[in-house]
């Protein structure tokens, strides 16, 4: 039986319940992070926690005091659950307030949840053959830099991709590619690695930042700016990055073959460098 952390207690997952007046349940008034663990070691945990604090500041969300103990909480959950390779979901909400009202309550009792999530296997041959995607309108709010639990538009886009029989939905706003429903999108164009700038239109992914660091080490030219759908169609290479996927090549968008229809050399070099980094 999985053990989770819920507001100061380490309890079985089945006993972790949310009060009906929790603002996360009623309004989606909360933020979250997902941290990957390799061999018992959380990857880039400090970066995730820094982003958690940025999201909290953007959402004007006071955090529970125990947020400072998250590294120790994760270690205890790893030990109690006997885990080595996994991921952790961290969620913070504004907590319960009565009566229900849209405005932030004067008195806040923030909640904190940590639970592990098993790693999901990728589709067969996804890394060697790449995955297919579709483009869909980006219907999200204009503060995508806040990692909010208000994920209905993302879930709708992901479901649209699932129903179309493809791996991911690539979001498009005003003709420009922003990111995926749960990923960042990076392209190789004329030998340059290009990805949307880290502004309020995207969530600046931790893995995206790692990719850019590795690109600098490999002396690959990088440009952080938005690109059009047509520019994406004509890219030499295209790939997704995220905490769970790491680096995953895309070989088809909207039925159009990207590049030569197989993972390209830049994507492969970056994935190899990523693998060395997590094994250090």
Catalytically active residues are 147
Both tokens of residue 135? 């483009």
- Using omega within 30 degrees of 0 as the cis cutoff, is the peptide bond preceding 119 cis? no
Cα-Cα-Cα-Cα dihedral sign, residues 199, 200, 201, 205? positive
Residues 246 and 268 sit within 8 Å (Cβ to Cβ):
no
For residue 128, give the DSSP letter: H
Look at residue 156 and give its three-state secondary structure: helix
CA pair distance 63, 66, nearest whole angstrom: 8
Both tokens of residue 218? 């490999």
Distances (CA, A) of 246 to 95, 114, 174, 186, 237: 32, 21, 28, 12, 16
Dihedral of the alpha carbons of 12, 13, 16, 20, in degrees to the nearest 10: -160
Contact residues for 178 (Cβ-Cβ < 8 A; gap 6+): 138, 144, 171, 172, 185, 196, 201, 202, 226
Which residue from 55, 51, 115, 105 is spatially nearest to 81, judged by alpha carbons?
115
């Amino acid at each position: 039986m999985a053990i989770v952390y819920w507001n100061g207690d380490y309890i079985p997952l089945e006993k972790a319940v949310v009060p009906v007046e929790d603002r996360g349940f009623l309004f989606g008034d909360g933020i979250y992070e997902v941290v990957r663990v390799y061999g018992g070691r959380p990857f880039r945990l400090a970066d995730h926690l820094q982003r958690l604090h940025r999201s909290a500041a953007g959402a004007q969300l006071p955090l529970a005091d125990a947020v400072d103990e998250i590294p120790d909480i994760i270690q205890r959950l790893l030990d109690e659950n006997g885990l080595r390779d996994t991921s952790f979901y961290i969620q913070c909400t504004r907590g319960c307030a009565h009566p229900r009202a849209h405005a932030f309550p004067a008195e806040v009792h923030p909640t904190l949840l940590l639970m592990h999530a098993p790693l999901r296997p990728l589709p067969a041959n996804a890394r060697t053959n790449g995955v297919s995607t579709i483009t869909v309108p980006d219907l999200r709010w204009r503060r995508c830099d806040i990692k909010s639990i208000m994920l209905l538009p993302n879930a709708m886009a992901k479901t649209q991709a699932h129903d179309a029989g493809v791996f991911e939905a690539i979001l498009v706003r005003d003709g420009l590619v922003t990111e995926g429903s749960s990923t960042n999108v990076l392209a190789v164009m004329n030998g340059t690695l290009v990805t949307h700038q880290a502004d309020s239109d995207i969530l600046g992914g931790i893995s995206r930042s790692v990719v850019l660091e590795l690109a600098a080490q490999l002396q690959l030219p990088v440009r952080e700016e938005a690109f059009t759908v047509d520019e994406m169609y004509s890219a030499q290479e295209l790939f997704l990055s995220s905490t769970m996927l790491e680096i995953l090549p895309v070989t088809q968008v909207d039925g159009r073959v990207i590049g030569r229809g197989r993972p390209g050399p830049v994507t492969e070099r970056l994935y190899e460098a990523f693998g060395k980094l997590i094994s250090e």
